[in-house]
């Protein structure tokens, strides 16, 4: 196969699934991005939930997974899940939170697929991501 054939084959490969990370703590969001990127998952970080909703509304490549905190100013994690699933019903969701009140989760019809209670390890995060959207294929040379 020639170089141009290889480029054509690469351009026809499906894009890697994107993971949206939404957390109002920049340090925590960057740490999640680092863990997920190291595991091969392209990640887009948002510190404001409404920006994630607006980006999803206009995205040409939609995420396969949303990892969100619960307590955030302006919009809580359950409301974010609800709004995102209205735009993208097949979206998988992990609620990664130190505080997810059961009463709050009962108010919303859309529930997370998994809940990771803080603190959690990078291994726990990656294992849950893999269980929801599958492992990333190895990078092509």
Residue 41 has a pLDDT of 94
Task: Give me the residue label for tokens 């009463």.
Answer: 103
Name which of 21, 65, 13 is nearest 44 in CA terms. 21
Domains of the chain, by residue range, sit at 16-133
Give the strands of the sheet with 19-22, arranged side by side.
Answer: 43-46, 19-22, 65-68, 92-97, 114-117
Whole-prediction pTM: 0.83
Contact in structure between 17 and 41 (CB atoms under 8 Å): yes
Query: How do residues 2-17 score in pLDDT, each as one tens digit?
Result: 444 444 444 555 567 7
Query: How do residues 46-65 score in pLDDT, each as one tens digit?
Result: 999 999 999 999 999 899 99
Question: Which CATH superfamily includes the segment(s) 16-133?
Answer: Response regulator (3.40.50.2300)
């Amino acid at each position: 196969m020639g170089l141009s054939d290889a480029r054509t084959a690469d351009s026809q490969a499906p894009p890697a699934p994107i993971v949206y990370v939404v957390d109002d703590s920049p340090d925590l969001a960057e740490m999640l991005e680092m863990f997920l990127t190291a595991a091969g998952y392209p990640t887009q970080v948002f510190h404001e939930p409404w920006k994630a909703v607006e980006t999803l509304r206009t995205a040409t490549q939609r995420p396969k997974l949303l990892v969100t905190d619960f307590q955030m100013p302006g919009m809580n994690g359950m409301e974010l899940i609800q709004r995102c699933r209205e735009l993208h019903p097949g979206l998988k969701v992990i609620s990664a939170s130190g505080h997810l009140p059961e009463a709050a989760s009962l108010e919303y019809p859309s529930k997370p697929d998994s809940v990771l209670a803080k603190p959690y390890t990078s291994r726990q995060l990656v294992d849950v991501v893999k269980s929801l959207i599958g492992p990333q294929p190895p990078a092509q040379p």
